[in-house]
Every structure is written in C-alpha cells, then in structure tokens.
Structure 1
C-alpha cells in the first residue's frame, strides 16, 4: 500500500493543484477523525492520512512550483531515505555504523574537492540543513579566535565580538548569533549594492570603524546564491579582506554551491575556494529529500576542538582506530544517516548527471526571463542562477499589488510563486526553478497565469 501511494503521487503530482485551500478549522476536524483512544488499522490510517496530506500541502515536487528552494526529490533519494528509515543506523558512534559514517565522510571530501578545497586538508560533517551548518561555522570561527570560550564562556573574551554578512544574507545567521549567546547586535549587516551583493567598500569601512569603537571582528560571511534574488557576493574580494584582517571567511552556498558542477556556471563562484568553511544544502539544488546539509572546512581539527566531549557511556570499540565519532565532531549527537540519499543519487547519476540537471534548470531560468520580457515584465535581479524577480514594465506596483497577483496565481492552482522586497525597498514577484522536471510548457503555463492575474488586478 505504501509503494502504491508513493507511485500514485510521483506519477500524478502534476495533475494536482500546486497549492491547497487554507482552512485551519477543516484541518482540526480532519484530525479529530483519528482517535488515539480508538486506533484504526494500519491500512486505514495509511490510506486516509496520506490521501488527506496530498490535499493539504503545497506540492513542492510539482514542476509548476516556482517557490523557495524545495526541489522534487530524486527517485534514488527517496530510496535512500527509505533504507535509512528501515535500517535506522545510529551515527553518533563510528563503530555503530562504520560504513554510514565513512560514506558521509567520502561525500564531504568529494564535494569539498569540487569546491576547490584540498581533499587531504578538508574536514566536515553532514547537518540537518543550512541553519545548522551556518551555526557550526559561527561556533568554529568563535572557538578558532577565542579557544577559552569552550570552558569559560563568552565572558572570557574580554571584548565585544562582531561578525559581518550582507543585508541580503540568510536570517539563519541572526538565529546563530542569538543561539551562540552573542546576541543579535553582534551581527553587523553590510548594505548591498544596487546589484544586491555585499558592498565591499562599506565592509572595509565597517571593520575599521568597529575596531576604533572597541569591537573585535572575527568572521565575514559571503553568500553564494541569496534566498531573495539568487545573487552571489564578490567572494574573491571578501576572501582578500578576511585574509588581510585575519578573520574567518565562511561562504553560505546552501543553494548556489552546486553551480560549481556546471562548467559554464563555475565562474559565478570564483573565490569560494579561499573560504575557511562552506555551507551546502543537498536538499536544495541537489534534489534529495529534506533535510540534508553539509558543513565543510579547510581547518582540520576545528570541529573536534569545538564539539569534543568525554563520556563513559558511548561505545568504545573504535578507540584504537584513527577515526572520529560523529558525536564529538558535530553539533548533533544521536542522528540519522543523512548522507545516504545523496550518496545513492550521486552513485547512480554521477557528476555528469547532476551537471545536466543543473544546466537544464539554469536554461529554464533563462527561458522564463525571455518569456516575461516578451510579455511586458521587467527583470529586476541580476544572476545567472535560476531565480527570477520581476515587476510590470509599464506600471509601478507597491508590495500589496505584487502580493495580490501572487495570491491570484497561487489560488488558481496552476503554479506557486511568491513576492520579495529586494534591497529592503524594491517589491517584486519571485519565481525560482528548483525542479528537474520543469519544462518549457510549465514556463508558458506560469506566464499565462501571470498575464491573467495582472489583467484582473
């Protein structure tokens, strides 16, 4: 029954409306039909709940989903996740599932090498997603600069730590600052240029001014593929500034990083090879089920230094081996085999297969830009990656108007798009190609839905 439900969904998702009608009261009534006091049979619960879930979610695997960075999962990714759930390997200790741990290490080394880091110098770990990977980067940079925080806490620093990211960067760094105990004020956001990349001149000024004011900079974050507009910060320049100021340089390439696999897109990421650490999210551009993140660093030993603890209750079978238990090598303790879905996909499609998929998505982004321009829209972001932000060519709309058009498209069930405020002041509609199944006919369907919504506005 489970296989039948999965096959039916994979084969029929395109026939479903991309987004559901939002009705919380109806959902509560539906859940009331499942009793924990009078439980149903496995087949009944499976059929009823799966059937209802299909009705009440945005279908991110739909080829007309042009939303956030949520791809259609690959077939082998689904298989990998199913095997992980069935065998339920425990990756806290190396000896409990040595093949799983070594598989994830092989993935870290392979992707780090593609991104320009030396394989024999690379360390890293799989994470639940980009937020955990970015928090890991912040903690490693903090410990690298002030090792005393491990035992004595932030009060041992005797300074006011600050770090820098673009005003267009991901808000996970705000959460990371709070989680690490630094506070939101430790994150100094550098304004973006009119191209929505970090302004390096303002960054240099901020570092100098902050030091004069008694702050201690320790980290610069560059973004490779911003969530809003898909742009890439000037990574090479940021690396030079970090090196000149002896600061840790982290690149959040959660979404944009896989562009390194496409020869013609590789120049977009120039400078990423100089990063001290990199975030990559396979559950974005690499089409595996959520969640799957990666943290990679050229600073071998920093993960063990940051997360190492000593216990008497963890397995000791591997003590004499030159291996690291994941629980002393990452933020998580008990965790699932995150990397299998990526490994099985990569082992069956290869680097060339991923390159072809990513190239296709970029081509669909170019096609969407062309079709929008031909139908009276202006593209307001500049990126070679498949994120398209646009607004009418012949009118000036406020955010409310953009939102009404977005809502109309979503309500029609024909596609899912969103709105965005670029640079804090420019409202636009946003469409992103995340699905390897998206074809020219889906682009035309979106443009038609946009034209209709604009006429009705």
Structure 2
C-alpha cells in the first residue's frame, strides 16, 4: 500500500526566512492577504513535516481530524477570553466540563480537585513546581522549613512567619530540592533555573529498565535532609518519558514521597492517554493515587496543536493551587482560571478537547489499537534482528541493531536513511556506553500494519547495505 511521506526537504530556516521576507516585503506597500496565505501553504507543503502521514513516527503531536478542526474554528471565530468569566459564561461551562471529565479519568474527584489548560507541558510543569513550593514550604505545611527571620519582614518592618508565596526562597536556610531521573523532561530543569536555581535539581539513578530507582531516591532524600543543606520538597515521575516511553514505578516512588513529605508530580504529557483505555490504565497508571498533581498534553494524543490549550495541569489539592495563585483576596470558584493559574487571558480549549473525550469507546479503541501496533512493531524488529532497548506498554519503540554496536552505522545514519524514504524517526541516547537507539513513536491516526511493514522493510534494506 502506498504510504504518504512524513518528511520533506528541509533547507536552513535562514533560507526560508529570506524567502518569506522577500515575498512579503512592505517596501511596496500593503501585502495582499492571498499572497500571504499562498506563500505559507506553498512553503509549508514543501518543507514542513506532514504530521498526518502514517510514517510520522517522531515526537508526539497528533494529526487533525474534522471534529477538532471544526471546534477550533468555532472558538477562534468567537474570540472568547474565558479568563473573564462573566463575559463568556457559556464557553466557561464547556471548559469546566472538559476539565472535570479529564480529572475523573485520572481518578481525581472534580469536587475537590482542580485543573486548567496551559500553553504547553512546560507551563504545566512550572505550575506544579510553584504549587509544590507553596504547599510544602508554608506555615502549617508538612515540611516546616528553617528560615532566617531577618529576611521575613512584614509591612511594618517587624519579623513575620515565613510563607513561600510571600517571601520566596531567599530566607530559606536549606535549598529547596527537586528529584528527577535522567529520563525526566528538560522542562523541569528549565523551570528550576527560573524559580529556584539549577543547583536545586538532584538526578536519581535509574534501574536497568530506565525507571527511577525508588530505593536510591529514598537514600538521596534522607542524605540531603540530614546534611542540613537541602530541603526535599518535590519529586517528578514520568509516565511515558519522551526518549523511551518508560513509566516510573509510581507506587514505590509515591511511598518514598509520603515518607519524606514531598509533593509527587507526574509528567504524563503523552503517556497519560493510558487513562482513557481500561487495559492500559491498569498497566501504566498503577500507583496514580499517590500523585499530588500531573501534567497531561491533549495536543499530543487527543486534538491537534492549535490556539492554546496544548497542555493541562491537574491536581487533587484545590486549596493548594488557590494558595499559590489567588491574589483576589476572596475565595474563587474552580472556573475562575485567572486566579488559579499563571495565565490571565485564556482561550477556550475545552470545546475541541470534548470532541475527543465525549466518544470514550472510540477513544479507548484507538488507544488500544496504537498500543497493539507498538507491540507488533517490536515483534517485527526483533524478527529482523534488532534488539528492543526500552520496556513500555506504550507505542514507542527504541531499537539497536547488532551492527550498530560494532560501529557499522549509527542511529543517526538510520534516521537519515529513513528520512529519505519519507519516515520521520529520531535517535535517542538512553544509556551510557551504549549506542544511540533508533526511536519510532506511533501517533498518527493513519498509521497501520502496512506502515510498519514499510518501515521494517526499509530498515532491512539499509542494514544490508551497511553490514
């Protein structure tokens, strides 16, 4: 069966910029809008990845469908800012219903939990760090941090009790510390860099299967606290790590978090889709009840990346989120997003997400189908002589061929070859002293068994040429 290519020739961005600048030069006066749109379509069709291609096996960003496109068109046409709830109450109602359904899918009671859409997963992870700091390092919080009273002065100039939301991290005598693994998304380090400093990040070793070592985490947190130099407050676990698709041992890590009174956040931007499949939920999300909050990105698995709402922050602790963000001085409702999140102005993302989650049977079948395709691809690659070097029930396959270990070719070579054959794949560094792996992620709704055969056949031809 003919497979439409995902990859296209990709000249330097600087070259494309010059083409855009030349064709849209304002020196000649107003630029006709049809010229703008024609140029965009022309250059995008020539050079941008086709995310809807069945051979799109790169990083996760789901292809569009008619329902989600119609919903995006409807909300964009109305231009509602649902941060101003009294102006757009109907749009807010749809937004809140979509959030409540997703909270419930992750086992969070909408009556006591809370959630909102974010611009991306990085914003959701930053939200988690802010909420964890405020919750753990506040009066009456579980950690009771040691601080310098001279740096906690009230408006009258007199010392007052330390509270993170008022005084920040400066008065703390021990550095607030976040625990991650080598598989954790880089957004955690980016957020720490801006909030509390990179020195607050501690990397926990992984086991042979690339999952966070819960025993090593326990030892690290105990040692850090005993030193008096570090204050453990946050652990970030992965559900579907971007490089490998691994899932950290949620229950084991969660127990360690409870022992050390640390906030447990799950980064589940695409792996969280398992919540919508009864079988995968059991296999991927055992121990979910230990999590205080999580990140989930609808644009990776539910609806295409559009105008806002690419990520989500979800939490069991509504009061903790309000303590972190509510500057109104009064209690607010869960739908008062401007006082319960980083964003002020906010697009209506709920309608387009509802187009996917209001069809739960169809969604569950799609998720199960993609997981089965992942298993099929693993089996086909093993039969072709490849070694599968990641262990996950999710449809991300990382493989190393024996010829790669002998230096005959690299993952980068294989990726370049597949690129010429229309397949988007990625090289991944998973373990020290091991060749980079070839990573194939199944996300396009168009991918099927014929697509897998196409990829494996091309890889077989490539290996034969290089061996």
TM over 0.5: same fold? yes
Match in the other structure for 1:315: none
The question of whether the paired residues in 2 share the 8 Å contact of 1:94 and 1:323 is answered with no
| Aligned residue among 281, 287, 310 for 1:271 | 287
Would the alpha carbon gap of residues 306 and 207 (structure 1) be closer, same or farther in structure 2, given more than 3 Å must change?
same
Q: Which of 17, 35, 57 does residue 28 from structure 1 map onto? A: 17
Equivalence for 1:421: 429
Q: Which moved more, 1:182-191 or 1:25-34?
A: 25-34
Report the equivalent of 1:78: 69
Aligned length: 434
1:128/1:338 contact within 8 Å kept: no
TM-score of the pair, normalised by structure 1: 0.90
What is residue 140 of structure 1 aligned with on the other side? 131
- Comparing 332-341 with 293-302, which one deviates more in the overlay? 332-341
Give the Å deviation of 1:137: 0.5
- TM-score using structure 2 length: 0.88
Most deviating of 284-293 and 46-55: 284-293
Partner SS, residue 11 of structure 2: coil
Task: Trace 1:404-443 onto structure 2 (pairs within 5 A).
Answer: 404-412=413-421, 414-426=422-434, 427-443=436-452
Tell me, what secondary structure is at the counterpart of 1:369? helix
Alignment partner, residue 293 of structure 1: 311
After TM superposition, give the deviation of residue 455 of structure 1 in Å. 2.9
Give distance in 1, aligned partners of 2:6 and 2:221: 50
- Aligned equivalents of 1:395 and 1:57: distance in 2? 29
Q: Distance in 1 between matches of 2:408 and 2:73?
A: 42
Deviation at 1:36, TM superposition (A): 2.3
1:130 aligned partner: 121
- 1 CA distance for matches of 2:224 and 2:331? 48
> Could you tell me how far apart the structure 2 residues matched to 1:24 and 1:278 are?
35
Tell me if structure 2 keeps the 8 A contact 1:192–1:198.
Answer: yes
* 3-state secondary structure, aligned to 1:120: coil
Conservation of the 8 A alpha-carbon contact between 1:63 and 1:439 = yes
1:103-114 to 2 correspondences below 5 Å: 103-114=94-105
Say which is worse superposed, 286-295 or 426-435, in terms of deviation: 286-295
State how far apart, in whole Å, the 1-side matches of 2:36 and 2:404 are. 51
- The structural deviation recorded for 1:193 is 0.6
Which one of the candidate residues 192, 202, 206 is aligned to 1:192? 206
Alignment of 1:193-208 (within 5 A): 193-208=207-222
Q: Secondary structure at the match of 2:27?
A: coil
CA distance in 1, matches of 2:428, 2:13: 26
Change in 2 beyond 3 A, CA 1:399/1:131: farther
- Give the corresponding residue for 1:379: 388
Deviations 1:271-301 (A, max 9, x none): 1122111111111122432452111111112
Instruction: Please point out which of 17, 29, 37 is paired with 2:27.
Output: 37
Q: Please say if residues 168 and 423 of structure 1, whose CA atoms lie closer than 8 Å, have aligned partners that are also in contact.
A: no
RMSD across aligned positions (CA): 2.2
- Unpaired runs of 5+ residues, structure 2, are 139-162
Aligned CA distance change for structure 1 residues 131 and 322 (closer, same or farther; 3 Å): closer
State the distance in 1 between where 2:333 and 2:14 align. Answer: 56
Unaligned runs of 5+ in 1: 1-12, 312-318
Q: Report the Cα offset of residue 153 of structure 1.
A: 1.8
1:18 aligns with 2:7: yes
Q: What SS is found at the alignment partner of 1:231?
A: coil
Provide the rounded CA distance (Å) in 2 between the counterparts of 1:322 and 1:186. 34
Output the CA distance in 2 between the equivalents of 1:130 and 1:346: 19
Measured after TM superposition, the shift of residue 411 of structure 1 is: 2.6
User: Which moved further from structure 2: 388-397 or 154-163?
Assistant: 388-397
The worse-fitting range, judged by mean Cα deviation, of 264-273 and 232-241 is: 264-273
Is the contact between residue 135 and residue 320 of structure 2 (CA under 8 Å) also seen in structure 1? yes
Contact 1:78–1:289 (CA<8 Å) still a contact in 2?
no
1:89 aligns with 2:80: yes
The answer on whether the counterparts of 2:92 and 2:335 sit within 8 Å (CA) in structure 1 is no
8 A contact 2:6–2:424 mirrored in 1:
no
Residue in 1 aligned with 2:344? Answer: 333
2:344 is paired with a residue of what secondary structure?
coil
1:352 aligns to 2:352 (yes or no)? no
Whether 1:302 and 2:323 are equivalent positions in the alignment is no
Aligned twin of 1:260: 275
**C-alpha deviation, 1:394, in angstroms:** 5.3
- State the match for 2:159 in structure 1: none
Pick one of 232, 239, 262 that aligns with 2:254: 239
Please give the alpha-carbon distance, in whole angstroms, between the structure 1 residues aligned to 2:281 and 2:191.
Answer: 29
Cα distance, 1:439 vs structure 2: 0.8
Match of 1:120 among 90, 111, 118: 111
**Inter-partner Cα distance in structure 2 for 1:117 and 1:98:** 24
Give the whole-Å Cα distance in 1 for the aligned partners of 2:248 and 2:62: 23
